[in-house]
């Protein structure tokens, strides 16, 4: 209950989930914003670039038409020309149609903003120019060539030059509008870039805050787990100590009470047998009863030593292992090969009993589950550690039983209580190898 109370508290899952949702929402919103802005920029840039290109082409078309009109008027003023002035009427009419179409198209796709005065001026200048051309051709058709040429020199060429200058001004304005568009694009790109930097800063801040929260939560969880582990270790140690104390008491009762009682029974049966006549049939019965009592006494003593080996306190771990391994070999029928190396060390009784119990559990598993006919027990004493290995070539332990079996868990707990490590591996020949390492001083 103490461990459960120590572990209660709000889990960090909700906070981490909220942080993840906020971060993902921020990433999604900023990504959507940047995507839309970039799409708008691409569409605007493409539209403006296309309109500037088409507008420039129309202005160049208008300029070419005006140049063609200028060349035609120059030819009309040439006195050596063999053609009358009216011969240029069809050419100028075609140029007029093309010029009107170019002006109409240019006005529809013009990028640069024009005032109403500029629009009226251009339209009026073109209209006045063609009115003057019509009057010139009317004079030429009436036979007044000199008057018609005079109109060309004094009026038409000046109007044509004015229109040419106006178109050139429009080209200049178109280039200026293109530069403004580029500057506008640059400004939008700068704004998007600032938004991206702000988003990156906000995302980095969110990640840092989430990481700090996660580290703090993990630290608190690990502190709680450490406290729980310490409490569990203390409880396990108390339970095992209680179990050993109980087994020791039961073993003492078996040895003292039952053993003494059986010993007394054997002595009384022996005296009764001696008092019987040699020919009495009860002598053989008393002998048989005495034999059964002696067998029961031996069994009680073995059971007492199995529950708590009192010889462990008297002759130490290594002497106890010699006795116990011979008992296992006799009781289970499994051949035990015992190997020992290293110096003799005097272990603390608490360490010795845990090593003995681990060996006892390992050999019990071999006898019950391994279906092996032979087992190797190796004890190696080093300057800083005691190493115990129990190896068999039987069926081996499956993974589920290795992780969850009560005996395996108890062996791990016992090894942890004395500061040791235990592992269960599969040797090359198959079966199971239990390897225990316990530090010694």
Output the six-digit token pair for 265: 């029974």
Taking only the tens place, the pLDDT of each residue in 381-405 is: 988 899 999 999 888 766 445 545 6
pLDDT for residue 129 is more than 80: yes
Percent of the chain with pLDDT over 70: 86
In angstroms, the CA 166 to CA 146 distance is 29
pTM above 0.75, yes or no: no
**369 band by pLDDT with thresholds 50, 70 and 90:** confident
pLDDT for residue 7 is more than 50: no
Output the six-digit token pair for 202: 């906000």
pLDDT for residue 265 is more than 80: no
**In this predicted structure, which of 150-154, 156-160, 261-265 has the lowest mean pLDDT?**
261-265
What pLDDT, on the 0 to 100 scale, is given for residue 436? 94
Read off the DSSP letter of residue 279: T
Angle at 109 between CA 104 and CA 114, to 5 degrees: 85
**299 band by pLDDT with thresholds 50, 70 and 90:** confident
**3 band by pLDDT with thresholds 50, 70 and 90:** very low
- Strands (DSSP E) found in 265-415: 335-341, 374-381, 385-392
In angstroms, the CA 317 to CA 339 distance is 14
Rounded mean pLDDT, 108-117:
68
Q: Which CATH number fits domain 2-215: 1.10.10, 3.30.870, 3.90.1690, 1.20.1330?
A: 1.20.1330
- Which residues partner with 433 through β-bridges? 391, 425
The sign of the CA dihedral 122, 126, 129, 135 is negative
Of residues 52 and 355, more confidently modeled: 355
Taking only the tens place, the pLDDT of each residue in 405-416 is: 678 888 888 888
Angle at 264 between CA 262 and CA 267, to 5 degrees: 110
Domain ranges within the chain, ordered by starting residue: 2-215, 314-439
What pLDDT, on the 0 to 100 scale, is given for residue 345? 81
Of residues 120 and 157, more confidently modeled: 157
Taking only the tens place, the pLDDT of each residue in 63-88 is: 898 888 888 888 888 766 667 888 88
Output the six-digit token pair for 312: 């462990």
Output the six-digit token pair for 18: 């909220």
Distances from the Cα of 424 to the Cα of 159, 281, 304, 427, angstroms:
107, 60, 30, 10
Rounded mean pLDDT, 340-369:
87
Residues whose CB falls within 8 Å of the CB of residue 168, separated by 6 or more in sequence, listed in order = 63
Q: Which CATH number fits domain 314-439: 1.20.1250.20, 3.40.50.150, 3.40.50.1110, 3.30.565.10?
A: 3.30.565.10
Helix/strand/coil percent split, the chain, to 5: 75, 10, 15
> Where is mean pLDDT largest: 249-258, 315-324, 352-361?
352-361
What pLDDT, on the 0 to 100 scale, is given for residue 12? 59
In angstroms, the CA 220 to CA 9 distance is 10
């Amino acid at each position: 209950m103490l461990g459960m109370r120590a572990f209660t508290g709000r889990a960090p899952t909700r906070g981490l989930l909220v942080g993840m949702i906020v971060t993902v929402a921020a990433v999604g919103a900023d990504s959507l914003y940047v995507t839309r802005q970039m799409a708008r920029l691409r569409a605007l840039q493409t539209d403006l670039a296309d309109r500037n290109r088409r507008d420039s082409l129309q202005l160049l078309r208008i300029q070419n038409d005006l140049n063609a009109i200028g060349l035609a008027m120059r030819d009309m003023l040439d006195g050596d020309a063999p053609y009358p002035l009216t011969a240029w009427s069809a050419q100028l009419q075609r140029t007029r149609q093309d010029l009107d179409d170019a002006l109409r198209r240019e006005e529809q796709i013009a990028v640069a903003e024009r005032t109403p005065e500029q629009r009226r001026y251009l339209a009026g200048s073109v209209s006045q120019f063609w009115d003057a051309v019509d009057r010139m051709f009317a004079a030429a058709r009436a036979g007044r060539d000199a008057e018609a040429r005079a109109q060309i020199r004094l009026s038409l060429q000046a109007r044509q030059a004015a229109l040419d200058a106006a178109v050139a001004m429009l080209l200049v304005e178109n280039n200026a509008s293109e530069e403004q568009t580029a500057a506008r694009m640059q400004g939008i790109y700068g704004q998007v870039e600032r938004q991206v930097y702000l988003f990156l800063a906000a995302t980095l801040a969110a990640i840092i805050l989430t990481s700090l929260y996660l580290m703090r939560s993990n630290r608190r969880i690990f502190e709680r787990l450490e406290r729980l582990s310490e409490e569990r270790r203390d409880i396990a140690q108390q339970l095992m100590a209680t179990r050993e104390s109980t087994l020791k008491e039961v073993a003492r009762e078996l040895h003292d009470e039952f053993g003494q009682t059986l010993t007394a029974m054997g002595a009384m049966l022996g005296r009764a047998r001696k008092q019987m006549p040699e020919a009495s049939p009860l002598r053989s019965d008393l002998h048989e009863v005495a034999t059964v009592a002696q067998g029961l006494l031996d069994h009680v003593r073995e059971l007492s030593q199995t529950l708590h080996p009192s010889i462990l306190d008297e002759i130490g771990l290594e002497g106890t292992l010699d006795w116990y391994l011979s008992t296992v070999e006799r009781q289970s029928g499994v051949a035990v090969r015992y190997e020992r190396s290293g110096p003799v060390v005097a272990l603390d009784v608490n360490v010795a009993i845990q090593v003995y119990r681990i060996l006892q559990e390992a050999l019990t598993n071999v006898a019950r589950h391994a279906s092996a006919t032979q087992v190797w027990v190796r004890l190696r004493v080093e300057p800083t550690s005691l190493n115990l290995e129990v190896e068999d070539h039987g069926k081996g332990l499956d993974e589920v039983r290795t992780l969850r079996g009560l005996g395996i868990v108890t062996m791990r707990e016992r090894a942890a209580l004395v500061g040791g490590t235990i592992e269960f591996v599969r040797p090359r020949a198959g079966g199971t190898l239990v390897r225990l390492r316990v530090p010694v001083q």
